[in-house]
Amino acid sequence: MEKVTNDAGQTIIRLKHPTGSICEVFLFGATVTKFVTASGRDVIWCSSKAKLDGTKAIRGGIPLVFPQFGAPIKEMPQHGFARNSIWTLEGEPAVLEGTEDVRCVFGLDNKVATHEAWPHPYRLEFSVTLGAEALTTTLTVHNVGEEPFKFMDLQHTYLNIGDISSTSVNGLQGVQYFDKASDEPEKACMEQRQAASVAEFTDRVYFPTESKPITDPVVVVSPLGNISVSKKATCTSPSETVDLPVDTVLWNPWAEKAAAMA
């Protein structure tokens, strides 16, 4: 592991795998901004205009959305406050037993980041595990208070796919979704395509049902190579651990919005 500082004074944790894969994580937002596999595939995209000085959320990488997705609570920043907060590195990175994979854990709690519109005691842990050809990221939300609270979280991953016109997503056929870019964003639709492609501004939230779960992994087929995206969620209480449904977002800003992004 290396701990480096960029020109703006922001701390970056750099992980290296014995096979040559690398990963970089900013303490600002605990945002993963780079993952290059041992075979040389640069998986994560970041905008060339991204602010890397801590003044705003990093445009690209894997921003952590918490405790709200979008802005249902208008008083709170869009996508919450976790992606705009300084996280801490929890101890030293560790090599997982029986492997060469290396893991580091980042933490954030309500003593560092909170909002009057969502004043709950919590603790977040974000673990990043670097393998030769895979990156595993896990966001854990702990309720450290006495009362239950509602929240949303999302790993808002930007994938480096090269040419969007030659890219498609497999594993969504037959799955229901909300088209947030349409005139009826709360109307449930069904994906008919075996390979979902993008030809305009796209913002869809695919959600699993009992009759039609989302295939795991979803596979992004692009000119730069395929990317398999696997996901899982659980809820743990003192008495049990249960699996939770996980939505999948397909989003692309398209040309006009992309040109204005920073």
85 lies in the same domain as 142? yes
Does the pTM of the predicted model rise above 0.85?
yes
Q: How far apart are CA 26 and CA 86, in angstroms?
A: 9
Per the structure, the count of domains in the chain is 2
User: What letter would DSSP give residue 157?
Assistant: P
215 lies in the same domain as 97? no
Q: Residue 225: what residue type?
A: G
* Residue 59 labelled as part of a binding site: yes
Residue 241 lies in a domain: no
pLDDT in tens, 156-212: 999 999 999 999 999 999 999 999 999 999 999 999 999 999 999 999 999 999 999
21 lies in the same domain as 150? yes
Residue 25 lies in a domain: yes
- 139 and 124 in contact (C-beta within 8 Å)? yes
Residue 76 reports pLDDT greater than 80: yes
97 lies in the same domain as 204? no
Q: Is the peptide bond before 148 cis (omega within 30 degrees of 0)?
A: no
113 lies in the same domain as 198? no
CATH number where 52 lies: 2.70.98.10
The two three-digit tokens of residue 77, written as one number: 């920043």
* Residue 83 labelled as part of a binding site: yes
208 lies in the same domain as 175? yes
43 lies in the same domain as 116? yes
The two three-digit tokens of residue 22, written as one number: 């690398």
Pairing between β-strand 31-36 and β-strand 135-143 as defined by DSSP bridges: unpaired
pLDDT in tens, 139-154: 999 999 999 999 999 9
